Amino acid sequence: LSEMNRGSSIIRDMLNDSFSAIHIDDETLFYQIKDYVQAIAPKQENIVKLYDAKVPIFEKFGIERQIKTSFGKTVSGAKGSYLVIEHTEALHVIDVNSGNRSNKSNTQEDTALEVNLLAASEVARQLRLRDMGGIIVVDFIDMAKAEHRKKLFNHLRDEMSDDKAKHKILPPSKFGLIQITRQRVRPEVNIKTREINPNAGESDEIEAPIVVVQKIGEELKKLINKDYKKITLNTHPFIAAFLTKGFPSVRTKWFLEHKQWIRIQPRDAYTYLEYHFQDEKGNDL
């Protein structure tokens, strides 16, 4: 497909009244798309904009960060929950985890339901985003109450109702497993998000540093929510520099968000992505 055909097909399938802007960094394609939008949705012609800044368009709008955090083996969800996505020859397996999170739910059952409902929304999104096809088995957190399992099933079905791929969802088993069959619309998206480990050379790979920085931020938020004070982060000098340099730095953003200054201590002995939090007495958190 040409760039115009690919772009117009995306807009044809996706464009709706919620769109506020369409940014294009190629001048020829910009005019072609602008004419196309004028033909199919004249009132939205003005939202098509030419992007000509020096910063790459994917960096400007955070697309690179989203790719590396959305297409990895682990996908972070709301309120500390996360998914682990594995692929085999026969099927795809998605494991739902609650993480170490504080919550206001009264019981373990309520917590499981809350996490499962959040995870179901992210599962539906990931299936569309990656266009995963075939058999998908989702291992939700076990729930003893039948009405909770039914609520989860109905919620997942609602979340997948606008999925254009043909699919079928089976009710959850007593063990929390939900089986989904989904027809693949296009080749499955498999984006490499891991990078060469600088400590081991090309023979080993690690998670992208930007993903680890996000994990550090999420773990810090959990510690602050548990009312820890005077927190110190020990990490590799490269990561320490990334967190402290520039304005506003990542650490400054943490201060503005949490109203607490985090001491960052570079550790030469640490491997590239190793980090540990400590309290004011030097105890690991």
The confidence score (pLDDT) of residue 120 equals 94
In angstroms, the CA 269 to CA 176 distance is 43
What does DSSP say about strands 134-139 and 82-87: parallel, antiparallel, or unpaired? unpaired
The confidence score (pLDDT) of residue 185 equals 66
* 71 and 132 housed in the same domain: yes
Each of the 285 residues of the chain gets a pLDDT tens digit; together they read: 456 677 888 888 888 888 999 999 999 999 999 999 999 999 999 999 999 988 889 878 888 777 766 677 888 777 777 899 988 888 899 999 887 555 555 688 888 899 999 999 999 999 988 888 899 999 999 888 889 999 999 999 999 998 888 999 999 887 789 999 998 766 655 666 666 666 665 556 666 666 788 889 888 988 988 888 889 999 988 889 989 988 889 899 999 988 999 999 988 888 777 899 998 888 888
Number of domains in the chain: 3
* 120 and 150 housed in the same domain: yes
* 171 and 69 housed in the same domain: yes
HEC profile for 130-181? HCCCEEEEEECCCCCCHHHHHHHHHHHHHHCCCCCCCEEECCCCCCCEEEEE
The confidence score (pLDDT) of residue 121 equals 93
* 169 and 205 housed in the same domain: no
Q: Which residues contact 250 (CB under 8 A, 6 or more apart)?
A: 213, 217, 242, 243, 244
The pTM score is: 0.59
Q: Which contiguous run of DSSP H or E holds residue 209?
A: helix 209-225
In angstroms, the CA 98 to CA 78 distance is 10
**Residue located via tokens 């994990």:** 215
Whether residue 188 is contained in a domain is answered as: no
The confidence score (pLDDT) of residue 209 equals 64
In angstroms, the CA 180 to CA 138 distance is 8
In angstroms, the CA 139 to CA 172 distance is 9
Six-digit token string for 107: 């019981």
What is the CATH classification number for the domain harbouring 211? 3.40.1260.20
* 92 and 159 housed in the same domain: yes
Q: DSSP character for 136?
A: E
- The residue out of 137, 158, 182 marking a domain boundary is 182
* 34 and 106 housed in the same domain: no
Q: Which amino acid is at 83?
A: L
Six-digit token string for 122: 């992210």
Six-digit token string for 87: 């692929």
List the domain range (segments joined by +) for residue 270. 194-278
Whether residue 208 is contained in a domain is answered as: yes
Query: For the chain, how many helices (H) and strands (E)?
Result: 9, 13
121, 182, 228 from 176: Cα distances, Å: 16, 19, 34
In angstroms, the CA 227 to CA 223 distance is 7
Q: Which residues pair with 182 in a beta bridge?
A: 134, 167
Q: Is 267 exposed, middle or buried (0-12, 13-18, 19+ CB in 10 A)?
A: middle
